[in-house]
Amino acid sequence: MFGNWIKTSILMAGIVALFGALGGMIGGQQGMLIALVFAGAMNVWAYWFSDKMVLKMYRAREVDASSSPYLYNMVRELAQRAGLPMPKVYVIDEAQPNAFATGRNPEHAAVAATTGIMQMLSERELRGVMAHELAHVKNRDILISTISATVAGAISSLAQFGMFFGGNDEDRPNPIVSIILMILAPLAGMLIQMAISRTREFGADRGGAEISGDPNALADALAKIDAYARGIPMNTAERHPETAQMMIMNPLSGGGLKGLFSTHPATEERIARLRAMA
């Protein structure tokens, strides 16, 4: 776990440095300073408001022990096992089986499950999934992923701006080099973001298995979700692909480079690690 935190910290430092470097290309030292200040401001915004934005985006509705006793009581029992405060619980009216967690810290956390995953999985399997999401909360993964996604998106926008505007010739390197870097920078930011997400997903699988006490339950759930999720579109995720990394399974329809640009590790590898734990 400690090794994962070191790796994530290095990756986060890399993505912020990349943002600052792009700002320097566009506007020299002043541009770099502005870019780093902007990156810091975005991180502050993501810290306080990203959870509310994502829940509203997916039209999630909060439930309690009266409106959804099955899910709510399951999350409450798992939160107690994990030593976590009770998070808010949400249901999303989507046919695709999926789930995610959000929040800036365990005291301000929320977990959400689609109606599809509640209908498709057995109680034992759903318990494994919700334990996985609570492991994300315990490890503060969602805050890290949200901040990296915010900065990665800003890198792409800044690079596009830099293709048309920039500082004077003394501030910038060779124009051809600048163009190449501005094309590659968004790609690098995307790959860093995805590396962060993949690293944290393995940790949440292990943590979720420990919380539930049943690694095979989560492994069975992942196999079932993977088999069905690909054929059931989730339109909100397709419109906002930056949120894909939050889900327990990649909700996006993929192309030929899906493996390279996936925010999640290969399902087969995740299942194999869980089977080994059992």
**Amino acid 187: pLDDT:** 64
Q: What pLDDT shows up at residue 37?
A: 75
Q: What's the confidence (pLDDT) of residue 194?
A: 65
Beta bridge partners of 101: 111
Amino acid letter for position 265: P
pLDDT score recorded for residue 28: 67
41: buried, middle or exposed (CB in 10 Å: 19+, 13-18, 0-12)?
exposed
User: At 100, which helix (H) or strand (E)?
Assistant: strand 99-103
Supply the pLDDT for residue 189.
57
| pLDDT of 245 | 81
The set of residues, in sequence order, having a beta carbon less than 8 Å from that of 191 and lying 6+ positions away, is: 261
- As beta bridge partners, residue 88 has 110
Nearest-angstrom CA–CA distance, 162 and 180: 11
Say what the pLDDT of residue 246 is.
86
Q: What is the DSSP letter of 182?
A: H
- The one catalytic residue among 125, 133, 201, 242: 133
In Å, the largest CA–CA distance within the chain is 66
CB distance 141 to 200 below 8 Å = yes
Q: What is the pLDDT along the chain (278 residues), one digit of tens a residue?
A: 555 556 556 656 666 676 677 666 666 677 677 767 776 676 677 778 878 988 999 999 999 999 999 999 999 999 999 999 999 999 999 999 999 999 888 999 999 999 999 999 999 999 999 999 999 999 888 777 666 666 665 666 666 565 555 544 454 555 565 566 556 655 665 666 566 666 788 999 999 999 999 999 999 999 999 998 878 999 998 888 778 888 999 898 764 444 445 668 899 999 999 999 98
pLDDT for res 175: 59
Q: Could you give the CA distance from residue 128 to residue 9 in angstroms, rounded to a whole number?
A: 28
In single-letter form, the type of residue at position 224 comes to K
Q: For residue 19, what are the domain limits?
A: 2-277
Q: Name the residue type at position 2.
A: F
133 is catalytic: yes
Give backbone dihedrals phi and psi of 90, rounded to 5 degrees, phi first: -130, 150
User: What's the helix, strand, coil split of the chain in %, to 5?
Assistant: 70, 5, 20
d(CA 5, CA 138) in angstroms, rounded, equals 13
CA–CA distance, 135 with 115 (Å, rounded to integer): 21
Domain count across the chain: 1
Q: What pTM did the predictor assign?
A: 0.78
